[in-house]
Amino acid sequence: MKNLIYLLAASFIISCQSNNYDSTSEIWQSLFNGKDLTGWDLKITGYDLNDNFGNTFQVKDSILLTSYEAYDTFNNRFGHLFYNEKFSHYRIKIDYRFVEEQAAGGPGWAYKNSGVMLHSQSAQSMGKNQDFPISIEAQFLGGKGAGERPTANLCTPGTNVVMGDTLFTNHCISSSSPTFHGEEWVTVEFLVLGDSLIRHFVNGDAVFEYNKPQYGGGVVNDFDPSILKEGELIKEGYIALQSESHPIEFRSVELLNLCGCMDKEAKNYKSYFVENDKTKCIY
């Protein structure tokens, strides 16, 4: 009988320990389910919302990819695949690689060129003939076999940023990353903290950072001018993957939301949250 009591007590202790909530463990959300484009909207220049011309964005063997097999020529049909939820404070981690040859008619600058748009306008708000969403673009580049061509750079369609105390209005600024000439997988990560800081990482190393993302500048055509509110800081937005004429594969797209319940008494409190959202608290 005594042994049975000890066993029951030990079982109860183990059960309680297993149910303890770990406030430090990170909960990463996979934005790509490995099967299809569920949860994403797409917009290709010259086409209606979610008209996936030529099956440009597709899933094959658990890989999200862009394909131009149905294109006779690229003809500036820039595409963007938008996750259908808005975020403000987060980390996003993406595994990508460039493959095969650039589509016929693709612009020279778009060779091994793609990216992820951060703090983007929605797919629904883009004009039919709009080429790029107003956003902060974390640009992916691949090498040409010789010379330097860093990745995880910054480009600014309809936006500007501050570096140090200086407002930068250049369209693209290079990071300090190494160059990847082949078809190897590259892991990029971006820390996005609302309208304050954005930091870029390549294979775990910090390569670039800036602050105060804001509306302004050019390099966007056929957009709704009411969206571009010159000088206004951008604190949140959508995430979009690019199609710019060179085939690219995405093995994973994962996000750690840094906005959540910061009440330590709540069941879903996380110590790594940096932005409080009381509406998410569970007691």
Q: What structural domains does the chain harbor?
A: 31-255 (2.60.120.560)
| 3-class SS of residue 86 | coil
pLDDT of residue 217: 86
What is the rounded CA–CA span in Å between residue 165 and residue 177? 23
What is the bridge-based pairing of β-strands 153-155 and 136-141? antiparallel
Pull the structure tokens for residue 169: 């209005």
pLDDT single digits (tens) 72-106: 999 999 999 999 999 999 999 999 999 999 999 99
Contacts of 273 (CB under 8 A, 6+ apart): 258, 259, 260, 261, 262
Give the per-residue pLDDT at 18.
38
Question: Which residues, in sequence order, are CB contacts of 143 under 8 Å at separation 6+?
Answer: 112, 149, 179, 180, 181, 182
All residues at 6 or more sequence positions from 117 whose CB lies less than 8 Å from its CB, including other chains = 80, 132, 133, 135, 136, 137, 138, 157, 238, 239, 240, 241, 242
Q: What is the pLDDT of residue 54?
A: 97
- Model confidence, pTM: 0.92
- Give per-residue pLDDT as tens, 15-47: 443 345 689 999 999 999 999 999 999 999 999
Q: How many residues does the chain have?
A: 283
